[in-house]
Amino acid sequence: MAEPMLELRNLRKNYGALVVTDDVSLAVNSGELHAVIGPNGAGKTTLIHQISGMLPSNSGKILFAGEDITQLSMPQRVAKGLARSFQITSILPGFSALENVSLAIQARSGSSFRFFGNAAQERALNEPAMDCLTHVGLSARAHIPAGLLSHGEKRQLELAIGLATEPKLLLLDEPLAGTGHDESQRVVETLRRLKGRLTIVLIEHDMEAVFSLADRVSVLVYGRLIATDTPERVRANPEVRAAYLGEEEMV
Amino acid sequence: MTELVETSSAPALSLGRRLEIVPIVLFAAFAAAPLLAMLSGAEGYVLSLLTRVMIFGIAAMSLDLILGYGALVSFGHAAFFGLGGYAVGILASHGIEEALIQVPVALAASALFALVTGAISLRTKGVYFIMITLAFGQMLYFLATSLAAYGGDDGMTLASRSLLAGSTALENDFALYGFCLLCLFGVYAFSRSLVVSRFGRVLRGTRENALRMEAIGFEPFRYQLTAYVISGMMAGLAGCLLANQAEFVSPAFMTWQRSGELIFMVVLGGLGSLHGAIIGAAAFLLLEEFLPEILHMTSFFLAEETRSHLAENWKMVFGPLLILIVLFVRGGIMGLLRRPRHG
Ligand SMILES: Nc1ncnc2c1ncn2[C@@H]1O[C@H](COP(=O)(O)OP(=O)(O)O)[C@@H](O)[C@H]1O
Ligand SMILES: [Mg+2]
């Protein structure tokens, strides 16, 4: 087996006495779509913050494609190919959808210490940005200020921004939360198309989506990983059933 | 799809074009003003007032670059005025009167000061950033007051204006005016280019959402610091010009009140449009200059004694008036100019 794309070793995070990430060790294989599920407050978002470099860890190691990135800043990790979306939508509301994406392209293509030339007119940035928008089904809304998009469209935009950084690993924090049925279908379709092309860590509450998309599922409860396995086995795991999955959610 | 990309900016562009009229009129007015000054019969007075307006316009614009486009509220921007002024004054007192030496020295000093203080200040956010830039400004102010060799508290008078490539052309008020107009235009053109460039887009993005910028791979600090240095250099240039206009430099160049005035000018003119800052500087200085007379004229219905009291204590009206404008004219004067078009 090739070396994992992402490896967490005894990762820990606590706020005072509250341990939010409790000795988490996990290996995400290259090309895998790995879902992380768990009840609210389990520490899923915190885990994404730690992996993406937004929050420091108290102890433990994060390896990305075999390299220790524990001490790197978020922009440094992005440069290595690690992108993320946010549970609470984070976009540039005053910029058009296209410019939101094209800034992400800009971050990867040449120096941004250029003081001349209109960046908004640069085809070399706009065309790949438009491709990303097309990919998530948002090209028709490219020139709308991002702040005016619907909630679901903003979620799609976040996905497009993440893709524009050309990641090897994409961390998605509840991309379906709060989206309508159609939009949610569109995001699921996009993820299905992306599957295999890059490694994805997906946090999601929509169990139908999780079980249809994921190669493997990890279950996080009170900051601890209680299971990592194929969707079928996780669903059958009595400990998981007891700790998390309500009977009605067991599709 | 390529077509889409191209037609994309059409609405934004036409909006931009419609607003271009403001800077064109503004610069045309500055260009025409010397002629009017000649006709007015008080050309020395008019020229010196408008030269000051342009100099403060440069400084206010430099602040708009980081405040309007970067949301960095620097409360110590007058420090760069002082650096520019003292570079001219100190070099002149040692016999170096050539602007081609003075200005680069002033720019280098401003850049260095901005680099060091910016690197520290930008580690903080919000009100802490305001306080720390204020503290650095005050530090420089007290340093200037302690420079006994260069006039200390009282400052120093320049023997003459700077030489320009050996010539004494700037001694002429019209020439100084023209030179300041050239500088104003140069700084404006560069700033306009900057804010739409790749660099400017990162700066604007950071203003909107720094976390998002980090999440796509930008280190906001590097861009903010660079913008701070560029802004400081522009304000330093304004300081060089102010020293020449006043033929005098003193610690008063860099009081915190002066920094506050610069912020006021930017907000008054309208944040984030560059020419708004010039208009704000003009409105501020002209109001400061003519408010006593305006008050005296408009209060004709009051007793003569009250009228002169009012004119004497014009500052009692000036402050509240500025506050009312800022409170009720959202987007400053530029906001007012834009409004009728948007309906
Ligand atoms: N800044 C913080 N300070 C203290 N506790 C926090 C902080 N951020 C998150 N927590 C706590 O950490 C736990 C995990 O939160 P989170 O990672 O958002 O969970 P999830 O995304 O799984 O719902 C929660 O109990 C939350 O209250
Ligand atoms: Mg969460």
Question: What ipTM is given for this predicted complex?
Answer: 0.93
H helices of A31-150, where? 44-52, 74-80, 97-108, 123-136
Last residue of a domain, one of A112, A131, A164: A164
* Cβ distance of A127 and B1 shorter than 8 Å: yes
The minimal CB distance from A114 to the residues B11, B197, B208 is found for: B197
Tell me how far apart the alpha carbons of residues B51 and B180 are, in angstroms, rounded to a whole number: 7
In a domain, B322, yes or no: yes
Token pair in block for residue A131: 């491709």
B212 and A91 within 8 Å at the Cβ level: the answer is yes
Same domain, A1 and A84: yes
Residue B201 near chain A (CB below 8 Å): yes
Whether B209 has its CB under 8 Å from any CB of chain A: the answer is yes
Distance from CA of A249 to the nearest CA of B (A): 33
Q: Which domain holds residue A229?
A: 1-88+168-251
* Cβ(B289)–Cβ(B307) below 8 Å: no
Question: What is the pLDDT confidence band of residue A180, given thresholds at 50, 70 and 90?
Answer: confident
The residues near B2 (Cβ < 8 Å, ≥ 6 apart) are: A123, A127
Residues A48 and A140 in one domain: no
A240 and A125, same structural domain? no
Task: Work out which ligand 1 atom sits closest to the CA atom of A16.
Answer: 4
Is residue B326's pLDDT more than 90? Answer: no
Do A69 and A178 share a domain, yes or no? yes
Residue, of A156 and B326, whose pLDDT is higher: A156
DSSP letter for A149, please. S
Spatial distance between the Cα atoms of A213 and A208, rounded to a whole number of angstroms: 9
- How much is the CA Rg of chain A, to the nearest whole Å? 18
Has residue B9 been placed in a domain?
Answer: no
User: Are B214 and A114 in contact (CB < 8 Å)?
Assistant: no
Nearest protein CA to atom 24 of ligand 1, as residue: A41
Residue A244 confidence (pLDDT): 66
Which residue in B151, B169, B188 sits closest to B23, CA to CA? B188
Same domain, A136 and A97: yes
- Residues B303 and B296: their CA atoms lie apart, in Å, by 11
What tokens does B232 get?
């400081």
A186 with A154, same domain: the answer is no
Q: Which of A13, A19, A20 to mutate to test the pocket of ligand 1 (most atoms within 8 A of CB)?
A: A20
- A101 contact B CB<8A: no
This prediction has a pTM of 0.92
Ligand 1: does its nearest atom lie under 6 Å from the Cβ of A18?
yes
Task: Please state, in angstroms and rounded to a whole number, the distance separating the CA atoms of residues B343 and B219.
Answer: 40
- Same domain membership, residue A181 and residue A79: yes
Query: Looking at A125-134, A227-236, B216-225, which range is the least confident one?
Result: A227-236
pLDDT for B8 equals: 39
Length of chain B counted residue by residue: 343
| Residue B3 is assigned to a structural domain of this protein | no
Banded pLDDT at A1 (limits 50, 70, 90): low
**Model confidence pLDDT, tens digit, residues B136-167:** 999 999 999 999 999 999 999 999 999 999 99
Q: Is residue B102 part of a domain?
A: yes
Output the DSSP codes for B109-162. HHHHHHHHHHHHHTTS-HHHHHHHHHHHHHHHHHHHHT-GGGTGGG-EE-SSPP
Question: B132 pLDDT exceeds 70?
Answer: yes
Note the pLDDT of residue B10: 41
Q: In this predicted structure, what is the pLDDT of residue A248?
A: 45
**Burial bucket for residue A227 (CB in 10 Å: 0-12, 13-18, 19+):** middle
A122 shares a domain with A195: no
**What are the residues facing B156 on neighbouring strands?**
B249
Look at B219 and A75 and tell me if their CB atoms are within 8 Å: yes
Helix (H, G, I), strand (E, B), or coil: what is residue B48? Answer: helix
- Report if residue B238 sits inside a domain: yes
pLDDT in tens, B3-22: 333 333 444 445 555 558 99
- Show which of A164, A192, A208 is a domain's final residue: A164
B336 in any annotated domain: yes
Query: Do residues B55 and B238 lie in contact, with contact meaning Cβ atoms separated by under 8 Å?
Result: yes
B4 to chain A, any CB pair closer than 8 A? The answer is: yes
Question: A64-74, pLDDT tens digit by residue?
Answer: 999 999 999 99
Q: Is A146 on the interface with B (CB under 8 A)?
A: no
The CATH number that applies at residue B261 is: 1.10.3470
CA B236 to chain centroid, in Å, comes to 10
Place of tokens 């709060």: A178
User: Which residue in A66, A74, A49 sits closest to A173, CA to CA?
Assistant: A49
Question: Are the beta carbons of B71 and B61 closer than 8 angstroms?
Answer: no
Q: Are residues A178 and A251 in the same domain?
A: yes
User: A113 — contact with chain B (CB < 8 Å)?
Assistant: yes
Q: What SS3 class is residue B74?
A: coil
Q: Which helix (H) or strand (E) holds B213?
A: helix B210-215
Give me the pLDDT at residue B115, please.
Answer: 98
What domain range includes position B75? 16-342
Q: A87-91: long-range contacts (C-beta < 8 A, 24 or more apart)?
A: A87/A45, A87/A173, A87/A174, A87/A177, A87/A203, A89/A151, A89/A154, A89/A155, A89/A158, A90/A158, A90/B209, A90/B211, A90/B212, A90/B215, A91/A146, A91/A147, A91/A154, A91/A157, A91/A158, A91/A161, A91/B209, A91/B212
Dist. CA B64–CA B265, nearest whole Å: 9
Maximum average pLDDT range among A176-180, B44-48, B326-330, B339-343: B44-48
pLDDT of residue A250: 45
Give the Å distance between the CA of A226 and the centre of ligand 1.
18
Token pair belonging to B203: 């700066």
Let me know how many helices (H) and strands (E) chain B has, helices first: 16, 2
| CB distance A16 to ligand 1 below 6 Å | no
List, for residues B223-276, the tens digit of each pLDDT value. 999 999 999 999 999 999 999 999 999 999 999 999 999 999 999 999 999 999
Question: Do A238 and A184 have their domain in common?
Answer: yes
Confidence of residue B303 (pLDDT cuts 50, 70, 90): confident
Give the whole-angstrom CA distance, residue B273 versus residue B281. Answer: 13
Judgement on whether residues A133 and A38 belong to the same structural domain of the protein: no
Q: How far is A45 from chain B (nearest CA, A)?
A: 15
Name every residue whose Cβ is closer than 8 Å to that of residue B80 and which is 6 or more positions away in sequence: B59, B62, B110, B113, B114, B232, B233, B235, B236, B238, B239
Q: Which residues pair with A203 in a beta bridge?
A: A36, A173
| Atom 1 of ligand 1, residue of closest alpha carbon | A15
Q: Which of A106, A213, A210 is nearest to A161 (CA)?
A: A106
State both tokens at B274: 């560059």
| Mutation target vs B (from A115, A116, A131, A163; most B CBs, 10 A cutoff) | A115
pLDDT at residue B317, as a whole number: 85
For residue A86, CA distances in Å to A170, A204, B212 come to 11, 12, 9
Q: Is residue B258 part of a domain?
A: yes
Alpha-carbon distance of A105 to B141, in angstroms, equals 44
Question: End-to-end alpha-carbon separation of chain A, Å?
Answer: 32
Instruction: Please count the CA atoms within 13 angstroms of the CA of B178 that sit on its side-chain side.
Output: 9
B6 belongs to a structural domain: no
Q: From the alpha carbon of A220, which atom of ligand 1 is closest?
A: 22
In this structure, are A217 and A175 located in the same domain?
yes
Q: How many domains does chain A have?
A: 2
Q: How many domains does chain B have?
A: 1
Task: Let me know how many helices (H) and strands (E) chain A has, helices first.
Answer: 9, 10
